[in-house]
Amino acid sequence: MLVFGIESSCDETGLAFYDTERGLLAHALHSQIDMHRAYGGVVPELASRDHIRRILPLLQQILQQAAITPAQIDAIAFTQGPGLAGALLVGASVANGLGLAWDKPVLGIHHLEGHLLSPLLASTPPAFPFVALLVSGGHTQLMRVTDIGNYEMLGETLDDAAGEAFDKTAKLLGLDYPGGPAVSHLALSGTPGAVTLPRPMLHSKDLDFSFSGLKTAVLTHLKQSDQPLQEPAKADLAHGFVAAMVDVLTAKSIKAMKQTGLARLVVAGGVGANQQLRTALTAAAQQHAFEVYYPDLALCTDNGAMIALAGALRLQRWPEQARKQYAFTVRPR
Ligand code: KG4
Ligand code: ZN
């Protein structure tokens, strides 16, 4: 079964072809990061307009690149939510328009299910069941993933998401959007232990997180100095922030592995690209005798491949979920 996937929930236009026999055949991505950087974050109206501008040329490009004709496609999957309403509507419109034009069934996919299943695209994919640590710009969750469509929330953030905390900290430090890569890069030159920030909810019994206090601790630290921080001190602060974040994410992941008794941990979402987090989780996995799986770096952040994959796996199991009924809604929240 060959599924065409479309992702447009935020600031990446992603298209991909996934085949249940042959795997990922092609994926194409246009990132709007350069456009939003000038504003220090994603501007929803500009995001929608850029998706509109890019999506059909990107479709032409990927059809050519994959040498696939519409006749070979079995179904179309698109991100139905959560995300920016206007941005979601672009992908949903194109998916349903193509469905009507090509006479294909169409299926809406939950963006987080895409992230959750994205490690299955790796050359050595994890088997079910596993625990997933989903760390993106909008979400921080630990989930028990028993099978396709069988997900149980074990814990989540009570306030800011991990990626959001990275982005807000970057802003405080005067770094570019998106903050994750910028803060992590700066942290590499910081001195370990020079700045120690609080680890919110590290010892709470549940599997929930809270990161807004960590961001406030960065702000408080900055306010202690009447001069703007210079490079070495900034790097120390960035190091302190990343260390606190990684400590909490790692400790809660270990707790989730113990609590569920499962043997595999899967990391997904944009913050899953973070090298410091990967190093800590790999060490924790060795120490506590579980296996840890990461998506390819390029498939951690938003992409069409994970949506095509989620669509294909759903349709393999539940063919009736794709419908030739082209009235659609999106679910921003
Ligand atoms: O999954 P994603 O692309 O979009 C959402 O669904 O939110 O995640 C984007 C988030 C941003 O907050 C970004 O700063 C963060 O992931 N991110 C990182 C890294 N790369 C992206 N955070 C930490 N380290 C990174 N290397
Ligand atoms: Zn995402």
Q: Give the DSSP letter string of 108-135.
A: EEEHHHHHHHGGGGSSSPPPSSEEEEEE
Determine whether the annotation assigns residue 311 to a binding site.
no
So what's the pLDDT on residue 40? 84
Q: How many angstroms separate the CA atoms of 206 and 209, rounded?
A: 9
Distance 172 CA to ligand 1 centre (A): 17
Q: How many angstroms separate the CA atoms of 312 and 276, rounded?
A: 33
Residues 6+ apart with CB under 8 A from 129: 144, 145, 146, 147, 262, 264
Residue 314 near residue 18 (C-beta atoms within 8 A): no
Q: Which domain holds residue 132?
A: 127-294
Q: Is 269 in the pocket of ligand 1 (CB under 6 A)?
A: yes
- Please report whether residue 327 resides in a domain: no
Ligand positioned closest to the Cα atom of 41? 1
Return the number of other C-beta atoms located less than 10 Å from residue 96's C-beta: 18
Residues 265 and 156 in one domain: yes
Determine whether the annotation assigns residue 115 to a binding site.
yes
What are the C-alpha distances in Å from 262 to residues 159, 289, 331? 27, 10, 32
Q: What is the ipTM of this complex?
A: 0.98
- Please report whether residue 37 resides in a domain: yes
Indicate which CATH number applies to the domain containing 108: 3.30.420.40
- Please report whether residue 267 resides in a domain: yes
Residues 280 and 209 in one domain: yes
Determine whether the annotation assigns residue 330 to a binding site.
no
Q: Is 295 in the pocket of ligand 1 (CB under 6 A)?
A: no
Pocket test of ligand 1: the residue of 117, 241, 271 to mutate, having most ligand atoms within 8 Å of its CB, is 271
- Please report whether residue 52 resides in a domain: yes
So what's the pLDDT on residue 22? 95
Residues 71 and 108 in one domain: yes
Element housing 75 (H / E): strand 75-81
3-state secondary structure of 80: strand
Residues 205 and 261 in one domain: yes
Residues 15 and 105 in one domain: yes
Determine whether the annotation assigns residue 36 to a binding site.
no
Report pTM: 0.92
So what's the pLDDT on residue 38? 87
Residue 144, both tokens: 């028990």
Distance 322 CA to ligand 1 centre (A): 30
Residue 111 near residue 88 (C-beta atoms within 8 A): no
So what's the pLDDT on residue 228? 80
Determine whether the annotation assigns residue 135 to a binding site.
yes
Minimal-distance CA residue to ligand 1 atom 14: 180
Residues 18 and 131 in one domain: no
Q: Is 136 in the pocket of ligand 1 (CB under 6 A)?
A: yes
Residues 134 and 12 in one domain: no
Residues 220 and 75 in one domain: no
Determine whether the annotation assigns residue 106 to a binding site.
no
Residue 60, both tokens: 């032409």
Number of separate domains in the chain: 2
Distance 210 CA to ligand 1 centre (A): 17
Q: Is 113 in the pocket of ligand 1 (CB under 6 A)?
A: no
Residue 294 near residue 160 (C-beta atoms within 8 A): no
Phi, psi of 241 (to 5 degrees): -65, -50
Residue 263, both tokens: 């043997």
Residues 97 and 142 in one domain: no
Phi, psi of 13 (to 5 degrees): -95, 115
Q: How many angstroms separate the CA atoms of 174 and 232, rounded?
A: 14
So what's the pLDDT on residue 227? 80
So what's the pLDDT on residue 229? 82
Residue 330, both tokens: 């999106």
Mean pLDDT by 10 residues, the chain (333 residues): 97 97 96 90 94 97 94 98 97 98 97 94 94 95 96 97 96 91 96 95 95 95 86 94 98 98 96 96 98 90 96 96 94 94
- Please report whether residue 220 resides in a domain: yes
Residue 294 near residue 125 (C-beta atoms within 8 A): no
Q: Is 301 in the pocket of ligand 1 (CB under 6 A)?
A: yes
Ligand 1 atom with minimal separation from the 273 CA:
26
Q: How many angstroms separate the CA atoms of 294 and 275, rounded?
A: 11
Q: How many angstroms separate the CA atoms of 252 and 301, rounded?
A: 22
- Please report whether residue 330 resides in a domain: no
Residues 111 and 179 in one domain: no
Tell me the sheet residues that pair with 327: none
Distance 320 CA to ligand 1 centre (A): 34
Ligand positioned closest to the Cα atom of 242? 1
Ligand 1 atom with minimal separation from the 164 CA:
12
Return the number of other C-beta atoms located less than 10 Å from residue 288's C-beta: 12
Residues 311 and 273 in one domain: no
Half-sphere exposure of 137 (CA within 13 A, CB side): 20
Q: Is 243 exposed, middle or buried (0-12, 13-18, 19+ CB in 10 A)?
A: buried
Residues 148 and 189 in one domain: yes
Pocket test of ligand 1: the residue of 166, 169, 214 to mutate, having most ligand atoms within 8 Å of its CB, is 166
Please choose, from the candidates 33, 6, 13, 171, the residue with its C-alpha nearest in 3D space to the C-alpha of residue 97: 6
- Please report whether residue 122 resides in a domain: no
CA angle, residues 115, 287, 243, in degrees to nearest 5: 60
- Please report whether residue 333 resides in a domain: no
Measured over all CA atoms, what is the biggest interatomic distance in the chain, rounded to whole angstroms?
65
Minimal-distance CA residue to ligand 1 atom 3: 301
